[in-house]
Amino acid sequence: MTRGMLEGATVDGLTDAWDTAARDFAAWRTGDRAGLDRLVRQMTPVLWHIARAYGLDPQTAEDAVQTTWLALVRNADSVRDPQAVWRWATTTVRREAWRLARAQRQEDAADPARLNEIGPVVPGPEEQVLSDDAARSLWQQVARLPERCRRLLRVIAFDDRPDYATLSNQLAIPIGSIGPTRGRCLDKLRRALAGDPRRRAR
């Protein structure tokens, strides 16, 4: 969580949030698709604020959050203790936000008109960012999903306030079917990643 959010939160409140996230994550791994939806609803605002704290614009922060959730789907089995999912997700979004912020600042550095706006980049205690190869493998698997799944995952899979009415019209599916369809698409992605020989070779 960001510093401001931590200052306004109680220890009991944080513990409850972690416990709820752990229960939802564990439920999802045992086959409850709604568990992932609950986890996403609970943690997306927190992850978004963390990403924004790295200086990302709203759209880029959403990209960082989406990448974090896709990474969790891909690596769910590596989070052996459900109680660790909160820390796993917040650490991952920090890595991704730092990577995106660094890339943006490198682009800005090439623009003489913005040199005066650029300050130092000071990363927090993040570990090494996710490898380009792993990210490439992830998005290749997304690209192989049916078109409806691709559009759902890219547009609303991890949006805390998706416009379901617009999506219903665009995808020609009832509003009430969007959530269950998203769950099925994420399950397909997880199975595809589990069967990726490049992943098993790592």
What angle in degrees, to the nearest 10, is found between the helix axes of 175-194 and 147-155? Answer: 100
* Cα Rg of the chain, angstroms: 18
Task: Of 34-43, 46-55, 188-197, give the lowest mean pLDDT range.
Answer: 188-197
Q: Which helix (DSSP H) or strand (DSSP E) does residue 199 occupy?
A: helix 197-201
Residue with tokens 């590596």: 78
Q: Tokens representing 134?
A: 């792993």
The whole-angstrom separation of Cα 141 and Cα 98 is 24
Domain that holds residue 10: 3-201
What dihedral do alpha carbons 167, 183, 28, 43 form, nearest 10°? -20
The whole-angstrom separation of Cα 36 and Cα 83 is 15
Q: What is the mean pLDDT of residues 124-144?
A: 58
Give me the pLDDT at residue 111, please. 52
The pLDDT-based confidence of 28 (bands split at 50, 70, 90) is: very high
Distances in Å between the Cα of 103 and the Cα atoms of 113, 190, 192 are: 17, 28, 29
126 or 154, which is more confident: 154
Q: How many domains is the chain partitioned into structurally?
A: 1
Highest mean pLDDT among 83-92, 131-140, 158-167: 83-92
pLDDT above 70 covers what percent of the chain? 68
Q: Does pLDDT of 150 surpass 70?
A: yes
114 or 84, which is more confident: 84
Task: Of 23-27, 34-38, 72-76, 138-142, give the lowest mean pLDDT range.
Answer: 138-142
39 or 132, which is more confident: 39
The closest of 30, 45, 53, 70 to 193, measured between CA atoms, is 70
